Amino acid sequence: MIGGLIGNFKIVEQIGEGGMGTVYRGVDVMLDRPVALKRLRPDFSDNPQLLQRFRIEAAALAKLNHPNIATLYSFFRHLDDHFMAMEFVEGETLDKVLHECGPLPCERAAAIFGQVLDAIDHAHVCGILHRDIKPENIIVSDRDVAKVTDFGIARVLGEAGLTRAGSLIGTIRYMAPERVKGEPADRRSDIYSLGVVLYEMLAGRVPFIAHSEFELMTAHIEKLPTPVNKLVPSIPEPVSDAVLQALAKSPDERPQTAAAFRIQLDEALRTPRRRPASSAAGEVSETRFVPRGAVEAALSQVAPSPLEPDSSAQAPAQTPGLPPLSRSKDPRPESTTESANWQIYAAIAAGTFLIGVLTLVLLKYLS
């Protein structure tokens, strides 16, 4: 099959295999664009009712048009096989990214997850539930652009009892409590699965770890998850609270839409972080000292302003603990100086008056 033509599509290589069947990378030879070709499992060919439901589901998925959703191009039959031609997305699954990188920094996780929320919200508005949200169905490009794949496929496979052995445990890790109990799913069931995905992105592990399907289903229904900021202390508490709300057991206590979840997460990221306990009131905060020589060297290079006198040349040395010295050249109080000046003026005036009187007496005597 590799290298062969199937309709307008040339098979290039096999790139994966999942619950639906085998996935190939191909090329649309008419439009010269890359595609992902999903060859459906042989079970479909023997089940006309399943094929019809799949066609209906595919027709609804083909109407989704969103930058964060992998577009479905066509659903067609070739000989005895059925294929889905979808947008080929360059990148790695989020599952592989998490295995390679471990927990993602909060800002990066929120940036990628926000795109997933936008995609799911668009699908919900169009009346389509995903029902199988998990990292394997999210592709992340090298620029952290997220694309969500396989909308609605889980419902078709689940109703037909065609879930592949060994894959059920992977789905249950992200399954809402009401779905575990067999109750009808709605958009809030997808919200729970989104909460599990975000938890794993931040903590590097899912909220509940069990060794059997029964233990895992019981945990979803009864156990409370450990707050994610208890596992990764650097995560802000409002973000951790947003994740816990999405993981609420009751659908009514979760964000009611993906858009509301996005708003709550954005607000949590903008909330200032609380001061750490070590900086609480009553404790001495860290003090940093600058070497005195460094300060003096820096000050020595600062020239005095031309508009101000050089106080360093005029001001006398100041002895610590004493009041500042006056800069007046005369150390006497200003009031004492003024009094002495008035005494001099008075003496000069008296002398002048005496000289005038003696002059008049002398002139009268000579005459």
DSSP string computed for 49-96: HHHHHHHHHHHHHTT---TTBPPEEEEEEETTEEEEEEE---SEEHHH
User: 22 near 14, Cβ under 8 Å?
Assistant: yes
Residue type (1 letter), 12: V
Tell me the CA distances in angstroms from 261 to 52, 126, 129, 257, 298, one per residue in order. 34, 18, 16, 6, 53
Residue among 47, 324, 202 nearest 55 (CA): 47
Q: Return the DSSP state at 38.
A: E
The identity of residue 149, as a single letter, is T
- pLDDT of 138 reads 95
281 to each of 64, 277, 278, 285, how far by Cα in Å?
54, 9, 9, 9
d(CA 55, CA 38): 14
Report the DSSP pairing between strands 81-87 and 92-93. unpaired
In 3-state terms, what secondary structure has residue 26? strand
State the pLDDT at residue 270.
Answer: 87
Place of tokens 């931040």: 202
CATH level 3 topology of 90-271 = Transferase(Phosphotransferase); domain 1 (1.10.510)
Residue range(s) occupied by CATH 1.10.510.10 in the chain:
90-271
pLDDT at 282 (0 to 100): 41
Residues of the chain with CATH 3.30.200.20: 1-88
> Which pLDDT score is estimated for 219?
95
Q: Which of 21, 116, 114, 128 is nearest to 75 (CA)?
A: 21
CA gap 313, 84 in Å, rounded = 88
Report d(CA 358, CA 346) in Å as an integer.
19
Spatial CA neighbour of 144 closest among 173, 171, 105, 170: 105
- Superfamily per CATH, domain 1-88: Phosphorylase Kinase; domain 1 (3.30.200.20)
| Strand order from edge to edge, sheet including 21-28 | 5-6, 9-17, 21-28, 33-40, 81-87, 72-78
Round to whole Å and give the CA distance between 179 and 192: 10
pLDDT of 337 reads 53
Residues 6 or more apart in contact with residue 86 via CB below 8 angstroms: 35, 36, 37, 38, 70, 71, 72, 73, 149
Say what the pLDDT of residue 123 is: 92
* DSSP 8-state secondary structure symbol assigned to residue 185: P
pLDDT in single tens digits along all 367 residues of the chain: 788 888 889 999 998 876 667 889 999 999 999 999 988 877 766 777 777 777 777 787 788 899 999 988 988 888 888 888 999 988 999 999 999 999 999 999 999 999 999 999 999 998 888 888 999 999 999 999 999 988 766 555 555 554 444 444 448 999 999 999 988 889 999 999 999 999 999 999 999 999 888 999 999 999 999 999 999 999 999 999 999 999 999 999 999 999 999 999 999 998 776 544 444 444 433 333 344 444 345 445 544 444 344 444 444 444 444 444 444 444 444 445 555 566 776 777 777 777 876 777 667 667 6
First to last CA, the chain: 155
**Catalytic (active-site) positions:** 132
Model-level pTM?
0.69
